[in-house]
């Protein structure tokens, strides 16, 4: 079954997005029969979720950012009275493939990080209104919000029951956010994460698991007060929103074609070619002309397409191990768009949201378990924001010939599009050689193959005699390696430098969860996840590794 990552509020089955002036509300009322599973192996009971539920959530957050600039606070709540969210559907986790488990966790992690970025960068703070129990991934969703209000009725609780009930970890950053974000004491976090029934009422507030509790009679009043404070806490965005139309790519057996992006799978081998076309029009000269052009402007449209292609590769083409990235177009036009966007983003919310979206998509590339090689050839336009793809690549090859290709830096190259470690890709690349970064800042920003190699911007610069063989052999060799070893290799090498909450979630949590999802204590015949819901208790191999 092919998974489609595009949706629209009119087609939501699990969420309702309501905007009332400065306040948006996302209400979760999961359709039990609406699982992303054509064979009906599981139902989404108790507001549990699968990837389909989270695809809608990610779409809603994107639309709040672009289509509703008037919003200054977001409430995430349940459409049911008995439960907020019971977390990821356990039967989905038990019965789906290992790859889908891992990529489901990765996507939900990205979505919750986008929720936090909505507050930090777009000045739309969030509150989770838990008018019922929030367990597992449901509580992790609440942890991604700025404030958490819990119903104080003697029954409603917050919990992370994955370890005692399932033999796995909370998969969406819960452990990291407890101690890094909410600063919960380690001993309390240890008790909380190993107690299936969770914590409720005053203890939940005292331990820092929630910010406030309220009885049912005062729950809405207390929530309104929290929201009022959030609305007053930040600056307002101005101007009409910009509608995000469907991308509507042409999908064929061998690949997918968008307006600016083409994804082509090779007939033989585990390789796909990803082509990104540069802009064909001149950049907007003002915030008004940028907004008038809408979602069709090149940086937004092209990076939305790139995002969809990356997700398509992750979930629908697991056999592809190597992605070869190429660009086509006018180097100068890419630079002109980058410069215009950098200038307009200082004062215009729409330009800023486009740049933030580009940042999120490039992070998605970084986090994807695919080897990425960049090929820089005549006609390429690896400049500024598109050069980030070459810098994100595990290796880059640039053809060295007379009147050959060039690469170029732009204002977006020096910190506007940071990685998960908080550094630009150039800073990460030159951690041991900071003087190179200084030299790049002082340069004119344009480099032919020899200069790019000397500056450290590319890995290799073969001449036209060696080009075909060197690139071909490198790709064939890469595709022949163990994909499991490559996933671990790339994840270790891509995020040099400081550790952040985001790198912990992806580098530490995802790596451990990837391992635990394959261990007999979780998914073996007598493992906790396999036996969940049966009358048999799990049997654990007691040996620690």
Q: How do residues 263-297 score in pLDDT, each as one tens digit?
A: 999 987 799 999 999 999 999 999 999 999 999 99
Mean pLDDT of 133-156: 97
Mean pLDDT of 414-419: 97
Mean pLDDT of 27-50: 91
User: 353 or 510: which carries more pLDDT confidence?
Assistant: 353
Q: Which of 393, 429, 406 is nearest to 335 (CA)?
A: 406
Work out the pLDDT band at 514, boundaries 50, 70, 90: confident
Cβ atoms 541, 180 nearer than 8 A: no
Work out the pLDDT band at 116, boundaries 50, 70, 90: very high
pLDDT tens string 362-381 = 999 999 999 999 999 999 99
Beta strands in 86-174 (DSSP E): 87-88, 126-130, 133-135, 147-151, 158-159
Work out the pLDDT band at 138, boundaries 50, 70, 90: very high
| 97-102 long-range Cβ contacts below 8 angstroms, 24+ apart | 98/517, 98/518, 99/318, 100/51, 100/315, 101/517, 102/369, 102/510, 102/513, 102/514, 102/517
User: 539 or 545: which carries more pLDDT confidence?
Assistant: 539
Mean pLDDT of 511-523: 87
pLDDT on residue 252: 87
pLDDT on residue 509: 76
pLDDT on residue 239: 80
Domains of the chain: 9-233 (3.90.226.10), 252-489 (3.90.226.10)
pLDDT over 80 at 12, yes or no: yes
pLDDT on residue 357: 98
Mean per-residue pLDDT of the chain? 95
Work out the pLDDT band at 483, boundaries 50, 70, 90: very high
CA distances (Å), origin 82, targets 14, 57, 219: 16, 21, 14
Mean pLDDT of 139-167: 97
User: 543 or 222: which carries more pLDDT confidence?
Assistant: 222
């Amino acid at each position: 079954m092919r998974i489609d990552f595009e949706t629209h509020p009119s087609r939501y089955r699990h969420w309702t997005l309501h905007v009332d002036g400065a306040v948006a509300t996302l209400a979760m009322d999961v359709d039990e029969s609406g699982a992303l599973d054509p064979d009906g192996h599981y139902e989404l009971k108790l507001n549990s979720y699968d990837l389909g539920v989270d695809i809608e959530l990610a779409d809603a957050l994107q639309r709040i950012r672009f289509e509703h600039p008037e919003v200054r606070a977001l409430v995430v709540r349940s459409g049911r009275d008995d439960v907020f969210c019971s977390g990821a559907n356990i039967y989905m986790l038990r019965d789906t493939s290992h790859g889908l488990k891992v990529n489901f966790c990765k996507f939900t992690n990205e979505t919750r990080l986008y929720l936090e970025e909505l507050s930090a960068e777009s000045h739309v703070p969030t509150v989770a209104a838990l008018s019922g129990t929030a367990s597992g991934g449901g509580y992790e969703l609440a942890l991604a919000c700025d404030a958490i209000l819990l119903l104080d009725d003697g029954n409603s609780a917050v919990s992370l029951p994955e370890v005692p009930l399932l033999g796995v970890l909370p998969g969406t950053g819960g452990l990291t956010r407890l101690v890094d974000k909410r600063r919960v004491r380690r001993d309390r976090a240890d008790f909380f994460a190993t107690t299936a029934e969770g914590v409720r009422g005053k203890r939940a507030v005292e331990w820092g698991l929630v910010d406030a509790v309220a009885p049912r009679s005062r729950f809405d009043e207390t929530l309104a007060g929290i929201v009022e404070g959030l609305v007053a806490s930040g600056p307002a965005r101005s101007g009409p929103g910009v509608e995000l139309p469907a991308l509507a790519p042409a999908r064929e057996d061998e690949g997918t074609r968008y307006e600016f992006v083409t994804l082509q799978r090779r007939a033989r081998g585990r390789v796909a070619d990803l082509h990104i076309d540069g802009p064909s029009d001149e950049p907007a000269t003002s915030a008004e002309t940028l907004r008038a052009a809408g979602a069709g402007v090149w940086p937004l449209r092209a990076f939305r397409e790139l995002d969809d292609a990356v997700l398509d590769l992750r979930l629908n083409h697991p056999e592809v191990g190597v992605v070869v990235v190429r660009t086509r177009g006018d180097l100068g036009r890419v630079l002109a768009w980058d410069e215009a966007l950098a200038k307009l983003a200082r004062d215009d919310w729409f330009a800023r949201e486009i740049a933030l979206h580009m940042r999120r998509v490039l992070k998605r590339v970084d986090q994807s378990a695919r080897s990425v090689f960049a090929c820089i050839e005549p006609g390429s336009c690896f400049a500024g924001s598109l050069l980030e793809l070459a810098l994100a690549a595990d290796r880059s090859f640039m053809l060295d010939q007379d009147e050959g290709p060039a690469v170029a830096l732009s204002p977006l190259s020096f910190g506007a599009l940071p990685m998960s470690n908080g550094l630009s890709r150039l800073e990460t690349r030159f951690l041991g050689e900071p003087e190179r970064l200084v030299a790049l800042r002082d340069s004119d920003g344009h480099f032919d193959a020899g200069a790019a190699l000397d500056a450290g911007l590319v890995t290799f610069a073969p001449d036209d005699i060696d080009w075909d063989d060197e690139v071909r052999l490198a790709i064939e060799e890469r595709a022949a390696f163990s994909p499991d070893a490559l996933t671990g290799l790339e994840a270790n090498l891509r995020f040099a430098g400081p550790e952040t909450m985001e790198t912990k979630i992806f580098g530490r949590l995802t790596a451990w969860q990837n391992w635990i999802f394959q261990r007999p204590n979780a998914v073996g015949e007598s493992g906790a996840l396999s036996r969940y819901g049966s009358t048999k208790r799990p049997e654990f191999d007691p040996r620690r590794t």
